[in-house]
Amino acid sequence: MQFEVWAPLTGHVAMRLDGATYDMTRDPDRDGWWTAEAPAADGSRYGFLLDGEGPWPDPRGRRLPDGPDGLSAVVDVEALAPRPAPAPGTGLQDAVLYELHVGTFTPEGTFDAAAARLGHLTALGVTHVELMPVCSFAGRHGWGYDGVAPWAVHEPYGGPAGLARFTAAAHAAGLGVVLDVVHNHLGPSGNHLPAFGPYFTDTHHTPWGTAVNLDAPGSDEVRAYLLGSALAWLRDYGIDGLRLDAVHALADDRALTFLEELSAAVDDLAADTGRPLFLIAESDRCDPRTTTPRSAGGVGLHAQWNDDFHHALHCALTGESQAYYADFAAAPLAALAKTMTRAFFHDGTWSSFRGRTHGRPVDRRRTPAHRFLGYSQTHDQIGNRALGDRLSASLSPGLLACAATVTLTGPFVPMLFMGEEWGARTPWQYFTDHPDPELAEAVRSGRRREFAAHGWKAEEIPDPQDPATRDRSRLDWSEPEQAVHARLLDWYRTLVALRRTHPDLRDPDLAAVRVAHDEERRWLTFRRGEVRVVVNLSADPVTIALGRNGVRVLAAWEPLDHPGPDGRIHVPGESAAVLAP
């Protein structure tokens, strides 16, 4: 079997394989690369000794049975579970995504246990499962954003074979799979890449320290390393799309950016395989160039999360005004209306949170609505709160139904966060399992300091290292059977079905969306083609002029009176309805 590793700064490289040591030789055709031939089988353990130090796991290794500080294991990629093609008609324009964390979606916290719950998702009607990061990280549990081995699958979840089985099961159920990947940093514990070469650079600094080397000397190989990892998820595991974490934090001054290179490579793979692969960005820049085609001078990603939509909707529902919500709190329904017709609230407007103007306008003539994802809850927007409290902790079932209505009938590709569909009462808290005691204490004290600035007492903040914090964040699958949760779940199913069957609700034309609202009385209506959506966030009933007669109710959270001869409709408090001619 051929083994190879990039170690450009090393004078001698050897490989430790199943207890035997093999000297490696320089590849004369590839600068910095070392190769060796040795007998190996699926599961063989190996690592590399660099100038006598190590052995360290393979940076491109697919499996780390003992975690990132142990040896790699050989994986026969061809022997992974078969991956039937996903059901047709699941491109982004028709998509409804469902974000989940493998470790807390089920009590077992494994790919196989998550696969056993796919029937719930097909009954809900979503089209894609979006997995939070699954690459290997230190410790047994965590959110996954401190991964240190971008090619390897976290062993406690089930390793590479478990991920392949999950993808195969999802495809067999007609569901696509999106995987969250992190290229802007690697975790601080178990990261052995610096021993191999210039994977990081102090030319730039990020919130996590030195930057991943995308533009300094040696960056060609670092880019190839990350590109290869991204394509491997799509090619070898049958993943249908990637969510790219915090692309605004990618420090990259090269003329051809890493994101453009990745976009081109994924488009080429899609063309070669005939599969509709896509890339979804998380970005706080409010920059439409992120999803503008490369041929038009953009980066060429296929969609991006729209936090402005979330923030406006959250403020309208809760009245909160702290931190970044301050930009939306003065007139949240007006802000929400703007996002629903122009995508970004910050399109060159003043941001009091940032102390400067922010964003860039979206050209609605050239930018379809499915370039953006809309959501009322995500792992970040819940878990970055002090207590990890969901909307269900403070809102009535009626207001939760209103949030679902705006998200699922609005112009953007809807994304749900696991458990929101039944109003889960379990929190989603920030949890870690760092084996390094100093790092564990730094994370614990840092989180307490962060929230102390907002008036929280240290003892009120859940300890990320306490296993109970993780346990509290697991979904309670007995809840959907309870009446109050079952009613909301049925509402979500109804709305998802309406979206998937009614073409007007998937119309990509942002300029065609018409929104009216009353900030004081807290109601909002919007039109998507022939469909009219009414949402009353007030506890009091309101009367809204629809401007026409003869409408029929497609769905209503509370019973509605039919419009009178003057075209007015009476909407109960904290309720929503979807209407059509």
| In-domain check, residue 560 | no
For residue range 242-282, list pLDDT tens digits in order.
999 999 999 999 999 999 999 999 999 999 999 999 999 99
Give me the phi and psi of 220, to 5 degrees please.
-60, -45
The verdict on residue 553 lying in a domain is: no
**Please, what is the Cα angle at 347 between 342 and 353, to 5 degrees?**
125
DSSP 289: G
* Residue 89 pLDDT greater than 60, yes or no: no
Expressed as residue numbers, the domain containing 367 is 92-328+345-399+412-493
Query: Which residue among the candidates 180, 282, 327, 574 is catalytic per the annotation?
Result: 282
Residue 568 lies in a domain: no
Q: Is the pLDDT of residue 334 over 90?
A: yes
Distance of alpha carbon 39 from alpha carbon 72, whole angstroms: 15
CA distance 312 to 517: 13
Q: Are 83 and 238 in contact (CB under 8 A)?
A: yes
Return the residue matching tokens 């509290």.
Answer: 472
Residue at token pair 């006598």: 52
User: Residue 224 falls within a domain, yes or no?
Assistant: yes
SS3 category, 323:
helix
Would you call 245 a catalytic residue per the annotation? Answer: yes
Whole-number pLDDT of residue 546: 83
Residue from 99, 215, 236, 245 carrying the catalytic annotation: 245
Interval 94-151: pLDDT, tens: 999 999 999 999 999 999 999 999 999 999 999 999 999 999 999 999 999 999 999 9
What CATH number corresponds to the domain at position 479? 3.20.20.80
The pLDDT tens digits of the residues spanning 437-491 come to 999 999 999 999 989 888 888 889 999 999 999 999 999 999 999 999 999 999 9
- Does residue 171 lie within any of the structural domains? yes
pLDDT of residue 458: 87
pLDDT tens digits for 506-542? 999 999 999 999 999 999 999 999 999 999 999 999 9
The pTM of the full predicted model, rounded to 2 decimals, is: 0.97
How far is 379 from 291, CA to CA, in rounded Å? Answer: 23
| Chain segment 196-252, per-residue pLDDT in tens | 999 999 999 888 888 999 999 999 999 999 999 999 999 999 999 999 999 999 999
Residue 190 domain-assigned (yes or no): yes
Split into its structural domains, the chain has a count of 1
DSSP letter at 499 equals: H
Residue 547 has pLDDT above 80, yes or no: no
